[in-house]
Amino acid sequence: MQEFIQLPIFGVFISIIAFAGARELRKKFNYALLTPVLVAIVFIILFLFIFNIDFDTYNRGGKYISFFLGPSVVALGVFFYEKYEEVKQNLKVFLLSVAIGGITGVLTVIIFLLLLKVPDFIIESLAAKSVTTPIAIEITKLTGGIPEITAGIVIAVGIFGNAFGPFILKKLGIKSKIAIGTALGTAAHGIGTARAFEESKLAGVYSGLAMCVNGIITALITPYLIQLSFWGVS
């Protein structure tokens, strides 16, 4: 057992087993909190804690899964190509919606945290909460926040969007797969996009595209919005 744990394949193996088991659990018990990403994360943390395995040992193999995050995002282009003609018809409205959603998402967090009078580094760390982790971390480095806080919050936001996003949207009367996909991609990045594909391929395509567009918008505007907000309260 100890020899297997030291192998790079251990991290890959435990991650795949955890996620596959979590998906089966979700199929059997369709509860919002049983979202596969959350269940898999909890399982891996508990497993490492119970068997006293440090993170570096796990990450020898786990990092290979992280490596495929980039190619998996690029692979969304295949679905975009399949739905290109349909997306093109709604492109202006789509881009406007994502832009408004992205800017509003950043502004609401900044304003809310300013009202709570939290330290500046918290605002700088949480402003980019709705974009995928690599982009969010780079934004945080630019603004002077703490990347470790950003990474944790981004994952939490994605899990929340994955678990409750479709439920909230449908309760608000939103039934369009295009709207659901766009909202999930804008607000909950890659984890939300995974949930959008469960809704339909069309929702997944719009979600993946929204995630990419919002990443660009958020990277461009967040440093300036933070500076303006600090200047406004000083």
pLDDT tens string 97-108:
999 999 999 999
The pLDDT score that the predictor gives to residue 95 is 93
The pLDDT score that the predictor gives to residue 157 is 94
Token pair of 159, please?
Answer: 């899990």
CA angle 99, 101, 107 (to 5 degrees): 100
Hey, what amino acid is at 62? G
pLDDT tier, 1 (very low <50, low <70, confident <90, very high otherwise): low
Over residues 148-199, the pLDDT tens digits come to 899 889 989 999 999 899 999 999 999 999 999 999 999 999 889 989 998 8
**DSSP H or E stretch at residue 131:** none
CA angle 155, 151, 6 (to 5 degrees): 90
SS3 state of residue 44: helix
- Res 110 pLDDT > 80: yes
Token pair of 47, please?
Answer: 């497993």
Q: Domain coordinates of the chain in residue numbers?
A: 2-67, 76-233
Is the distance from CB of 128 to CB of 140 less than 8 angstroms? Answer: yes
- Res 59 pLDDT > 90: no
Is the distance from CB of 77 to CB of 195 less than 8 angstroms? Answer: no
Over residues 145-161, the pLDDT tens digits come to 999 899 889 989 999 99
- Res 4 pLDDT > 70: no
- Res 55 pLDDT > 80: yes
- Res 8 pLDDT > 90: no
Token pair of 123, please?
Answer: 């605002």
- Res 6 pLDDT > 70: no
